[in-house]
Amino acid sequence: MTWTAPDVTRTKPPKVADERTMLESWLDFHRNTLLWKCTGLTAERLRVASCPPSPMSLLGLVRHMTDVERGWFRWGVAGEQVPDVYDRTDDEDADFAVAEADAKGAFDSFVAELAAVRAVAARHDLDDTFVRQDNGVEISLRWVYVHMIEEYARHNGHADLIRERVDGETGD
């Protein structure tokens, strides 16, 4: 049996809420939008590149965002010493190398990483800060939320175009 990306329900963020609820709601909306763009596609179709020479694909975006989530929340906010999700020893863009990638495994990793980063975020206030190890810059959890919303918004635009290329589907 061929695996296909599962259906995803997106919940629209509230129009009025406290800051934390608003940030978490928008981030979750964008997380689910990426998965929603993949709904119903087989692993083969998830591997279709946007347009050569770019290797960007829907599967690559899911893998990339798994790494991005881990980087900002677990390495950054929590200071955990966890390995990259995808080995970058020989390829800086290993998350986008999807020719042999396990699509179901990538989706499972994404969902598991979201559970881990939500647990990290829940232990911190928006004003809590950490210092990036690579450049010594102090960053707040609030900034991480805003940055992640921006990161997903940009990549969800890519996902729109890739999905349209794969099967003509468009959506908001």
pLDDT of amino acid 154: 97
Residue pair 71/116 in contact by the 8 Å Cβ criterion:
no
Q: Let me know if residue 11 belongs to a domain.
A: no
Structural domain harbouring 135 = 19-167
Q: Let me know if residue 26 belongs to a domain.
A: yes
Count: domains in the chain: 1
Q: Let me know if residue 6 belongs to a domain.
A: no
Token code pair at residue 149: 């919303």
Q: Let me know if residue 10 belongs to a domain.
A: no
Q: Let me know if residue 82 belongs to a domain.
A: yes
pLDDT of amino acid 120: 98
Q: Let me know if residue 92 belongs to a domain.
A: yes
Query: Can you give the chain as a three-state secondary structure string?
Result: CCCECCCCCCCCCCCCCCHHHHHHHHHHHHHHHHHHHHCCCEHHHHCCECCCCCCCEHHHHHHHHHHHHHHHHHHHHCCCCCCCCCCCCCCCCHHHCCCCCCHHHHHHHHHHHHHHHHHHHHCCCCCCEEECCCCCCEEEHHHHHHHHHHHHHHHHHHHHHHHHHHHCCCCC
**pTM for the structure as a whole:** 0.95
In CATH, what number is assigned to the domain containing residue 72? 1.20.120.450
Q: Let me know if residue 12 belongs to a domain.
A: no
**Tens digit of each residue's pLDDT, the chain (172 residues):** 799 999 999 999 999 999 999 999 999 999 999 999 999 999 999 999 988 788 999 999 999 999 999 999 999 999 999 998 988 888 888 899 999 999 999 999 999 999 999 999 999 999 999 998 888 999 999 999 999 999 999 999 999 999 999 999 887 7
pLDDT of amino acid 14: 98
